[in-house]
Amino acid sequence: MRALVRWLCAEPVRGTVLNVLMLVLLLALVGSPVIFAATGAATVILFALYGLVNAGKAALSRRGRGSRLLEQLLTWLPGAVALCLAILGLDLVVTSGEGSPLQRLGLLLFAFELVALAVVTADLSGLARGRAYGGAL
């Protein structure tokens, strides 16, 4: 147990990833599309706002160093793609029939993209503080 706690504390994003996975698992076990839609939408909005703030900070911190278009794209694009795919996964879970392959695909897509969004926003937070890309999970 101590090894798990040390591993979780080594990178702050690891705890967030674990919480996201537990939330998605809990929502899948409940099986209510209304609860999944409401909680999933609130989670996506929260992650989107956090990502927007961190991407803005990262873009502004590099502005004085003459940031180029490619750097701006690498700052904004991964979070935007992950956000769009998380919304698509949420839509598939809510609109597909119970137990259908599309619902399972949507659940996996939603979980994976929320985890990706958590990692991307953690990297942007570190980049705004001057740390290099690529925080390890």
Mean pLDDT score, 42-59: 84
Mean pLDDT of the chain: 79
Closest listed residue to residue 110, CA positions, set 34, 23, 10, 5: 23
pLDDT of 131: 53
CA distance linking residue 28 with residue 97, whole number of Å:
13
Residue 11: C-alpha distances to residues 17, 33, 60, 85 (Å):
11, 33, 24, 25
Q: What is the mean pLDDT of residues 3-27?
A: 78
pLDDT in tens, 74-120: 778 888 888 898 899 889 888 887 888 888 888 888 888 888 888 88
CA dist 78 → 59, 72, 75, 95, 125 (Å) = 14, 11, 7, 26, 14
Q: What is the pLDDT, as a whole number, of residue 60? A: 76
What pLDDT sits at residue 67? 59
CA angle (54 as vertex; 124, 27 as ends), nearest 5: 90
Closest residue by Cα to residue 13 from 127, 111, 115, 87 = 115
pLDDT attached to residue 7: 73
Q: Please report, as a single letter, which amino acid is at residue 58.
A: A
Kindly calculate the radius of gyration of the chain based on its CA atoms and give it in whole angstroms: 16
pLDDT of amino acid 136: 47
The answer to whether 16 and 47 have CB atoms below 8 angstroms apart is no
Q: 57 pLDDT exceeds 70?
A: yes
